[in-house]
Structure 1
């Protein structure tokens, strides 16, 4: 009874204290009108400065940015003021409106800070699509809570607490129905600046934002330096929205004729040379890159003896053929390269989405694996990570893979190396699948071992830790090829990295190498190894780099696989447009043939020939089996 009485007393004391605080806040609203007006007026400038300061780190750098780009700073403040006014009209409470806007601004600012420090890529609106994979992303990122970050968050909190105490707010007699329309209008105006080109273009021009089009990471980074965080985030959002893929005009008018005009009329008759259907193994190695292309510059930085890290790769190369493919991404967005390999189509023709698989319609896809399936192959996909990341399991189920193996599905012993499953486990799984398949095997593996972060290892230098992981992968590759050399099954193995690694943005190796948009082309050239054990003729491999989406057709040509007018067209197109890549050639003119054929297969009616023309529909097969049962 005494305890119950004490709880009631405690609750009454808290309630009385809360009422006294509320009375004091109401008094402050009336007693300090000028102070409250000043707090309301200063807030948009305050939150913009805090969001930008979080990126600049030092107030002096922020002051320098404001002095050099006053119109951009004015733009940021006006946008923040519109958002704040809209929230204030909707909620009336000044401190609550500040809290809501501060959470949004600082959350975006912190995400940008961590993202850039992780991989040297700045935050853009399309990255929000990865929010559903937040758990996976946090395992990649360098999330470091610094005293400076805590200080800036504390300053934001202090400003909101100040507003809470002085309690600026709209007058009580202003009813919601009178506030709703103008409040929504303020917020809609901000949305229109991003989403409506007729609004965004003159607004950006008026405030002198850098609006040059760029998908190349380094051009984007330079744009960030010119615009600052907030203006960059909005402007690139507008750019991405205006860059939506449109149906080609000739395709819209007459899709049949639009496709037929581009298809090859002369198709070679082929059906596997000497009846040999070799296993085709693609190993797309996460973040594997040969930094010896920068040997001279790295030696000047004190990094010597690079050959020792790549000894396994050189051994593998000595057993096969080597060359270079142009990949469509750098530092992140593995699925861009994966898309080009699995579809044999350029992401440039889709306007370079970060996640091209998200554009796919929910239907059976005309993929490269589907061709192999139609030729009597068993098909497999191996990726030692979460099946939900990039929605791979759901989306790739339409790619005609008989088997998909993710981190929980391995049938060989699993070990880790660093943060992720060891590449040698993937190699073991590949050998196991080859041995257990009674039909020839087509397999695509996307590894995970060499993914960031590189903070763990024997060195404090993340680049050296990265090289150690590369060495482990390369040594394992050479060992696997030796094993396959002893087998009787004819087999082809392609080994290539998906992109150069994500290394820290501030003082990372790329900054030390002084790489800019003018000299970054080497970062999109990926060294590949092509190995086989049956004396395959590799003379068709180009001596100069070509885009990696042509790789599947090169393999088809070397194994003399059956062709249709589409695959023949792509083989012919490689001769006239060997590289089709925005990152590698930022200002390259559009190729109407590639663009139209890609649209047809990804978003169109799949009029161009594909393996889907001969493969049974798995959904119909499933229905028939159910009916029979």
Structure 2
């Protein structure tokens, strides 16, 4: 007869010590849990005690109240997604001479039944936001209306919906109007989290305090298997709890299954290596938790999830980590509690233990190794992820991590980090493309050939042009004035990353390769072991001196080894520069000092120079207490990191003005192409308040300009104000510089004429219509783009006629 007993004999001091530690752990668990709950609840009640769901309404469905209504106003219909509406946040852009009247805000059912009513001042401040607490109980799935009405009918409030989809409220007689956006903030008790914490505590305490005596062999096998499954679920809960606002129980079942199979495969392999089930399970849980913690901090600092490339670029991450502030957040303690649940679950002692011979132990190890390897090999395949709908293509890294979870998305980023050969790829296909797009002849450069200065500005973004922002002064005064000049061509670029990943932006500009298709996760370490077609290689073939300047360590992303393969004769990194204290800010080289270095290099070189400059001043980590921002952010309020960033980019604007002034005085013709590599990560509060959420590219848009100190030919330049993909800039730089074009660049020009934007989260056609990734792959020349891109990086024998200029 099996029985459960709490009192167990202690036959030896070793066993006494072991039991003592087990009981200490049993006492620590509820203490840690209580502290974690209290800390989390006090620091962020919404994260623990509610489901923080915000639904933004741009006003496209808003309608004007009927003419015979008692008051004039506007109503916004919506469908309730949760049963509790905590508050409504209104983000208006208000004209300064609008009144300060109290608006009546009413929440109604579809039949007009009033659910809640209150008053709020929506027009009393310039560029602010108003949060209206409601606490209204709703019926999930039912339609409701939010009615905003002005009691003073004499003001004759009118409603209109402009083309961009925002609701515009205009007061009669007022010179300015108000654009209104709404956030519905739902709240609901997260009973799943509470239930899991309670179950986890009970199971863990049982595992630490109880033992099952006289356990039959069959029961031991089943119990051990059950312990391994339950432990895996706890470990996955710990990792996914750190994935932003996600959680394991919010993920699709297929994503949970993929993550669990990854856990099981790794645990079986470690069981074969260690020979101990508990140790293998614990090590697997530790690995998953490390992935979760890394994902937590990368999301916090960079705004994008932890991916496979972050392991390959771990050295780069460690070198720039000093610019960020690491804080232990309450959710980390909850993650530790779930981790302990997983570690304690296998602790249930089963007596007597099953006897095993030496031969049986080795057979068990080999069996675990074979099973684990088979599981991992079966799961970590492209076709498996694609069949499960867990492939990363067609969505941003953030959306992918939200849909697949931290563990599955991390594995997916590794599986898809090495591009597969595209359909239709063959030497014959390359030969046909080379005939269709012949390269121009490489002609000797003339004496008046221009210098080409290509500047990648770290995190440079014009937020004032992208959305609502209120500061005490213009953030980019020179940029806004300079880009209005007739001799300056400017527009916007759509990037593939947010908050980091400079290497992606520079590689796409230099080569014309796009991350929208299969793309190496770390191009500078995976595929640059030979000369690759690029702008500097093209310039060098024409007789240019080529150089790259980057005031960071050359080891970052392996630039010191990769840039020469792209055609750079000279590479200057941080270790090659001597900087005075006034040349740095927050530990990074100031743009003003870097631009003086660049100007000096242009002046000292007799031959025309192709110079690629990568700045560092605005790099992430906007929490430096010693930096005093010259710009004050008035709205949105409480965004200290954003204010520090705006001060830095304001200084970059002044440095650019100084550079342009110096080049205007330079007696050598010089072409300047200046662009931001990606937007900074400044937190969701800032981005949601400032950016247009109806624009799928809002968080991935940066500005660019093309200018020269000599007249440029208009037909060689893109249309002013155009939005293009980052890779499309490659042939435009060559054409603006007057370079003869390679066959590859001719192909890019034709492709991007039909598809101006191509990015991981979608693109646009020539009419400006948004296209999903699947639609992009159906665009003309998309198949050929994939073939050429793959051949450029991985083909053993390249068709040089496509990548190099023809020899005269």
TM-score of the two chains, using structure 2 as the length reference: 0.63
Contact 2:669–2:709 (8 Å) recurs in 1 = yes
Q: 1:373 aligns with which of 540, 546, 559?
A: 540
Partners of 1:115 and 1:141 within 8 A in 2: no
How many residues align? The count is 574
> Which of these residues, 419, 435, 444, is aligned with residue 603 of structure 2?
435
Picking from 476, 496, 519, the partner of 1:310 is: 476
Shift of residue 531 of structure 1? 2.1
Residues 1:339 and 2:514 aligned together: no
String of CA shifts for 1:179-210, please: whole Å, max 9, x gaps. Answer: 122211332243124323565566x4xxxxx5
Whole-Å separation in 1 of the counterparts to 2:400 and 2:531: 39
2:460 is the counterpart of 1:285: no
Query: Which residue in the other structure is 1:261 paired with?
Result: 435
In 2, the alpha carbon distance for the partners of 1:334 and 1:70 equals 35
**Structure 2 CA distance, aligned partners of 1:564 and 1:198?**
35
| Deviations 1:462-513, CA, capped at 9 Å, x for gaps | 1111111110111111011112212211111111101111233xx4423445
Partner of residue 146, structure 1: 329
Q: Is the 8 A contact 1:45 1:77 kept in 2?
A: no
1:551 and 1:67 map into 2 onto residues whose CA distance is 40
C-alpha spacing 1:467/1:172, structure 2 compared with 1 (3 Å): same
Distance across 2 between alignment mates of 1:178 and 1:61: 41
Structure number with the bigger relative contact order (C-alpha 8 A, sep ≥ 6) is 1
Equivalent residue, structure 1, for 2:407: 230
- Of 792, 798, 802, which aligns to 1:606? 798
Correspondence for 1:455 among 608, 612, 623: 623
Q: 1:188 maps to which residue?
A: 373
Question: Is 1:389 the equivalent of 2:556?
Answer: yes
| Cα deviations by residue, 1:192-234 (Å, 9 ceiling, x for unpaired) | 24323565566x4xxxxx53653432xx434433443334444
2:661 is aligned with 1:489? no
SS at match of 1:323: strand
Distance 1:389 1:61, change over 3 A: closer
Structure exhibiting the larger radius of gyration computed from Cα positions: 2
- Kindly indicate whether residue 299 of structure 2 is the aligned counterpart of residue 122 of structure 1: no
Residue 725 of structure 2 corresponds to residue 533 of structure 1: no
1:418 aligns with 2:586: yes
Matched residue, 2:782: 591
DSSP 3-state at the match of 1:308: coil
**Residue matched to 2:649:** 470
1:91 to 274, 296, 307: 274
> How far off is 1:398 after superposition?
1.7
The aligned residue for residue 402 of structure 1 is 569
Post-superposition offset of 1:405: 0.7
Q: 1:223 to 1:515 in 2, by over 3 A?
A: farther
Indicate how the Cα distance of structure 1 residues 100 and 32 shifts in structure 2: closer, same or farther if over 3 A, else same: farther
Matches within 5 A, 1:3-42: 18=14, 21=17, 31=213, 41-42=226-227
SS in 1 for 2:713: coil
Check if 1:111 corresponds to 2:111: no
Residue 582 and residue 221 in structure 1: after superposition, are their counterparts in 2 closer, same or farther (change >3 A)? closer
The equivalent of 1:176 in structure 2 is 361
How far apart, in 2, do the equivalents of 1:134 and 1:120 lie?
14
Residue 165 and residue 597 in structure 1: after superposition, are their counterparts in 2 closer, same or farther (change >3 A)? Answer: closer
Give the structure with the higher percent strand.
Answer: 2
The CA distance in 2 between the partners of 1:150 and 1:191, in whole Å, is 30
Contact residue 549 and residue 614 of structure 2 kept, 8 A: yes
1:249-291 C-alpha deviation (Å, 9 max, x unpaired): 3534464x233333148x599776x852111101100111111
SS at match of 1:216: coil
Q: Is the CA contact 1:325–1:526 (under 8 Å) kept in the aligned structure 2?
A: yes
Structure-2 separation of matches of 1:94 and 1:397? 49
Pick which of 53-62 and 576-585 moved more: 53-62
Q: CA deviation at 1:99?
A: 2.6
Secondary structure in 2 matching 1:408: helix
Is contact 1:316–1:529 with CA below 8 Å preserved after alignment?
no
Q: Is the 8 A contact 1:250 1:258 kept in 2?
A: no
| Displacement after TM superposition at 1:74 (Å) | 5.8
Secondary structure in 1 aligned to 2:474?
A: helix
- Stretches of structure 1 lacking an aligned partner (at least 5 in a row): 1-15, 205-209, 616-629
Change in 2 beyond 3 A, CA 1:60/1:293: closer
Q: Secondary structure at the match of 2:681?
A: coil
Say which of 545, 554, 557 aligns to 2:723. 545
Structure 2 CA distance for partners of 1:275 and 1:571, relative to 1, 3 Å: farther
- For 1:403 and 1:67, the matched residues in 2 are separated by 51
Aligned partners of 2:235 and 2:342 also within 8 Å: no
Q: Secondary structure at the match of 1:211?
A: coil
SS state of the match for residue 426, structure 2? Answer: helix
Is the CA contact 2:455–2:672 (under 8 Å) kept in the aligned structure 1?
yes
CA RMSD in angstroms comes to 3.9
Find the counterpart in structure 1 of residue 732 from structure 2.
554
- The alignment's TM-score, normalised by the length of structure 1, stands at 0.79
* Equivalence for 1:623: none
